């Protein structure tokens, strides 16, 4: 079993939506990133871990939960039970470069990059 470190947002979602107050076994190997988990699972047929959907590739299999396939669409709609939104926060209303960045992320071009890299666009 592979798990993320406790400062990870992926870990927080796993704790909240899957573990529901229980703790992952102390025998689990703590990994610093989704990418590290991908590498171990892809090369060890006995390994299992959890990652963000954007890290799935041909060498890994996403698992169905409650008979719902792990996909961009089921994550986007919230149908997949282990999904979450990603929020951006600023101190006050954003201006300058910060506002330009947020506008880019929300633009068609920015959302295309999100989708092209395997993550979940907002539309």
Q: Tokens 């963000």: give the residue.
A: 52
User: Is-above-0.75 flag for pTM?
Assistant: yes
Q: Could you tell me the CA-to-CA distances from 24 to 30, 63, 99 in Å, in that order?
A: 10, 18, 39
Domains of the chain by range and CATH?
A: 2-77 (3.40.190.10), 87-123 (no CATH)
Written as tens digits, the pLDDT of the chain (123 aa) is 999 999 999 999 999 999 998 989 999 999 999 999 999 999 999 999 999 999 999 999 899 999 999 999 999 999 999 998 889 999 999 999 999 999 999 999 999 999 999 999 998
Whole-angstrom Cα distance, residue 10 to residue 12?
5
């Amino acid at each position: 079993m592979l798990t993320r470190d406790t400062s990870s947002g992926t870990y927080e979602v796993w704790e909240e939506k899957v573990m529901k107050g229980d703790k992952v076994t102390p025998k689990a190997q703590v990994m610093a990133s989704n990418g590290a988990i991908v590498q171990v699972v892809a090369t060890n047929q006995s390994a299992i871990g959890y990652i963000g959907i954007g890290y799935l590739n041909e060498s890994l299999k996403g698992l169905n939960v409650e008979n719902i396939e792990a996909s961009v669409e089921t994550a986007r709609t919230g149908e997949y039970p282990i999904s979450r939104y990603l929020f951006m926060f600023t101190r006050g209303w954003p201006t300058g470069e910060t506002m330009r960045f947020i506008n880019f992320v929300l633009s068609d071009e920015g959302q295309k990059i999100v989708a092209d890299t395997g993550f979940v666009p907002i539309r």
